[in-house]
């Protein structure tokens, strides 16, 4: 059976590469040839399942093709697969990804069918995304990825997962298959060949979770995280990798933090989202669209997410309180600065005792300060009533959350780097203005706004840990 399996697999693949591929290339183009071969490689997993399941040979086969793909990349052996120009390691990444999951399921056989879901997601999802995206003219949504490719990836992965689960009689509902399909479409946007990794691993992980740890909370958490990605990414309020991180944060607060955790997180985000829209309507001269980056999301949500995961594991209420203090402190600081820019009066630096320009760190406005204090009290009251806390806890939580704004302003005023433009004379936190390099006039060069936010967040979280643990 093993020898027959090798003969069938190698005959099938070489027929695709050296006969079917060149024929399709002549009739259409190289990219179409590449992706049709890519799609039809789904059958290799079926052959492995029939002839080599639970043996080391299920790992050896992709290893052999990893070696052959490396040779082809170097010497252009597979002319119907390798691009002549702008080629990347996509074929090599393909083989590595399959090798890794087949090795994993050889060690842990109970996850075997998840490797099939991952293989089908890679071949059908990624294959149809490129095939349809390349041959249709629709708008690009990220790098060279198009909306038609995104939709095609979602549909192809969803239907292939449904067919796979039906044929092998595994417990994946249609809703689960849809969620796998949407996750694959999201991670397929990575591109440059790395999508061969991202697609395989995300579909493998989610299908493993669905098949072995089914629960309504898990399904809803994944659904909600994907919805949030669609909102923040397609609205261009957060960049792609920041949106992926937002997915993880939302999933963590829903799955580990429950209704309380996710409610506070989403209310905080959508308040900031609403303020950003309001700013664009009120401040007409603000033409530049401010898209939040990965690092900003990590600094504002990373520490809180870590503690919400720890809360989910250990079920210690103190960890939940620390998590909400951490992420709410960052939120309140954003409220103070974002709402403050809507004030007609110039902000006042209480530490230097002088007025400063809007948007400059260290400045505080009455409107921004009152708004952040009211939001802080609302969050603290929610924790007070839901967790049945003492009045002292309410005072401590309020002080810590609001205190981050004060600490942030203090650091921003004293040591954050500031520059002055030689042309317009404006003091700014950016090292470039009016298309020229600005001169540093104060602060420490490596302490920018992100570093200020990180320092203030760490300080408040550290104080919270001392008090509650």
Does the model's pTM come out above 0.85?
A: yes
- Residue-by-residue DSSP string for 373-412: HHHHHHHHHHHHHHTT--HHHHHHHHHHHHHHHHHHHHHH
Return the minimum-mean-pLDDT range out of 74-83, 309-318, 373-382.
Answer: 74-83
> Helix, strand, coil proportions of the chain in percent (round to 5)?
70, 5, 20
206 shares its domain with 289: no
Write out the H or E segment, with its range, that includes residue 19.
Answer: none
Residues 202 and 310 in one domain: no
- Contact between 408 and 368 under an 8 Å Cβ cutoff? The reply is no
* Cα 356 from Cα 349, distance rounded (Å): 7
CA distance 45 to 129: 20
- In DSSP notation, 243-270 reads HHHHHHHHHHHHHTTHHHHHHHHHHHHH
- Indicate whether 337 pLDDT > 50: yes
Q: What dihedral angle (degrees, nearest 10) is formed by the CA atoms of 439, 440, 445, 447?
A: -120
The reported pLDDT for the residue numbered 347 is 86
Residues 207, 93 share a domain:
yes
Residues 328 and 199 in one domain: no
The answer to whether residue 445 sits within a structural domain is yes
Contact 340, 367 (CB under 8 A): yes
Q: Is residue 224 part of a domain?
A: no
Number of compact structural domains in the chain: 2
The span from the CA of 331 to the CA of 432, in Å, is 27
Return the C-alpha torsion angle 446, 447, 453, 456, nearest 10. Answer: 120
217-276 pLDDT, tens digit per residue, is 999 999 999 999 999 999 888 999 999 999 999 999 999 999 999 999 999 988 887 887
Q: Assess if residue 98 is contained within a domain.
A: yes
Which structure tokens are listed for 239?
């960049």
Of 191, 214, 237, the one marking the end of a domain is: 214
261 found inside a domain: no
Domain boundary pick from 160, 181, 214: 214
> Does residue 454 come out as left (phi exceeding 0), alpha (psi in the -120 to 50 range) or beta?
alpha
Residues 27 and 152 in one domain: yes
- Verify that 293 and 205 share a domain, yes or no: no
How confident is the model at residue 285, as a pLDDT? 47
> What is the token pair recorded at 383?
């924790």
Least confident range of 268-272, 302-306, 341-345 = 341-345
Spatial CA neighbour of 185 closest among 215, 142, 249: 142
Q: Which of 27, 24, 134, 122 is nearest to 80 (CA)?
A: 24
| CA distance linking residue 331 with residue 376, whole number of Å | 9
pLDDT, tens digit, for every residue of 100-132?
Answer: 999 999 999 999 999 999 999 999 999 999 899
| Phi and psi torsions of 443, nearest 5° | 80, 180
Q: What is the pLDDT of residue 345?
A: 82
With helix as H, strand as E and coil as C, how does 66-125 read?
HHHHHHHHHHCCCCCCCCCCCCCCHHHHHHHHHHHHHHHHHHCHHHHHHHHHHHHHHHHH
Q: Which domain holds residue 354?
A: 282-468
CB 415 within 8 A of CB 447: yes
Q: What is the mean pLDDT of residues 144-165?
A: 96
Q: How far does Cα 377 stand from its chain's mean position? A: 31
52/31: higher pLDDT: 52
pLDDT at 289: 56
| Residue 242 counted as domain residue | no
Residue 348 dihedral angles phi and psi, to the nearest 5°: -120, 130
Per mean pLDDT, which range of 37-46, 133-142, 178-187, 377-386 is the poorest?
133-142
| Between residues 144 and 179, the one the model is more confident about | 179
Q: What is the pLDDT, as a whole number, of residue 81?
A: 57
Same structural domain for residues 188 and 307?
A: no
Q: In this structure, is residue 241 part of a structural domain? A: no
Residue 35: pLDDT band with limits 50, 70, 90: confident
The reported pLDDT for the residue numbered 287 is 47
- What average pLDDT is seen over the chain? 90
Task: Return d(Cα 319, Cα 308) in angstroms, integer.
Answer: 7
Could you say which of 214, 239, 262 is where a domain stops?
Answer: 214
Query: Are 120 and 197 within one domain?
Result: yes
Residue 176 located in a structural domain? yes
Dist. CA 26–CA 56, nearest whole Å: 38
User: Are both 321 and 192 inside the same structural domain?
Assistant: no
Q: Same domain for 289 and 205? A: no
Q: Are 139 and 72 in contact (CB under 8 A)?
A: no
Residue 264 inside a domain? The answer is no
Q: Which of residues 431 and 295 earns the better pLDDT score?
A: 295
The whole-angstrom separation of Cα 334 and Cα 365 is: 13
- 168 with 298, same domain: the answer is no
């Amino acid at each position: 059976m093993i020898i027959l399996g090798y003969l069938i697999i190698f005959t099938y693949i070489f027929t695709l590469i050296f006969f079917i591929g060149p024929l399709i290339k002549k009739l259409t183009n190289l990219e179409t040839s590449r992706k049709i071969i890519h799609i039809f490689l789904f059958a290799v997993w079926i052959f492995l399942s029939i002839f080599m399941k639970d043996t080391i040979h299920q790992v050896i086969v992709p290893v052999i093709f990893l070696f052959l793909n490396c040779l082809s990349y170097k010497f252009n052996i597979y002319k119907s697969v390798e691009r002549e120009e702008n080629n990347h390691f996509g074929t090599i990444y393909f083989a590595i990804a399959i090798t890794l999951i087949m090795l994993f399921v050889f060690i842990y056989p109970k996850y075997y069918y998840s490797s099939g879901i991952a293989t089908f997601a890679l071949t059908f999802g990624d294959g149809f995304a490129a095939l349809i995206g390349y041959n249709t003219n629709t708008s690009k949504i990220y790098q060279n990825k198009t909306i038609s490719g995104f939709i095609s990836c979602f549909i192809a992965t969803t239907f292939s997962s449904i067919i796979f689960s039906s044929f092998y009689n595994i417990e994946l509902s249609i809703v689960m298959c849809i969620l796998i399909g949407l996750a694959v479409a999201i991670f397929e946007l990575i591109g440059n060949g790395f999508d061969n990794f991202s697609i395989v691993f995300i579909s493998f992980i989610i299908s493993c979770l669905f098949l072995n740890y089914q629960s309504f909370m898990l399904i809803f958490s994944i659904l909600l995280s994907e919805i949030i990605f669609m909102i923040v990414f397609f609205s261009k309020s957060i960049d792609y990798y920041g949106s992926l991180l937002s997915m993880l944060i939302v999933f963590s607060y829903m799955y580990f933090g429950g209704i309380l955790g996710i409610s506070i997180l989403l209310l905080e985000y959508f308040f900031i989202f609403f303020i950003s829209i309001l700013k664009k309507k009120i401040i007409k001269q603000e033409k530049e669209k401010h898209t939040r980056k990965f690092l900003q999301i990590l600094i504002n949500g990373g520490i809180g997410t870590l503690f919400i995961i720890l809360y989910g594991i250990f079920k210690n209420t103190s960890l939940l309180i620390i998590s909400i203090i951490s992420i709410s402190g960052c939120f309140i600081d954003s409220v103070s600065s974002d709402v403050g820019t809507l004030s007609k009066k110039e902000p006042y630096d209480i530490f230097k005792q002088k007025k400063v320009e809007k948007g400059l760190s260290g400045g505080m406005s009455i409107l921004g300060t009152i708004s952040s204090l009211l939001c802080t009290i609302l969050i603290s009251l929610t924790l007070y009533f839901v967790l049945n806390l003492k009045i002292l806890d309410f005072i401590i939580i309020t002080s810590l959350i609001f205190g981050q704004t004060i600490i942030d302003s203090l650091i921003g005023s004293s040591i954050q780097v500031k520059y002055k433009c030689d042309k317009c004379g404006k003091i700014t936190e950016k090292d470039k203005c009016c298309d020229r390099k600005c001169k540093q006039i104060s602060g420490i060069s490596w302490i920018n706004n992100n570093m200020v936010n990180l320092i203030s967040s760490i300080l408040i979280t550290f104080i919270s840990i001392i008090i509650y643990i």
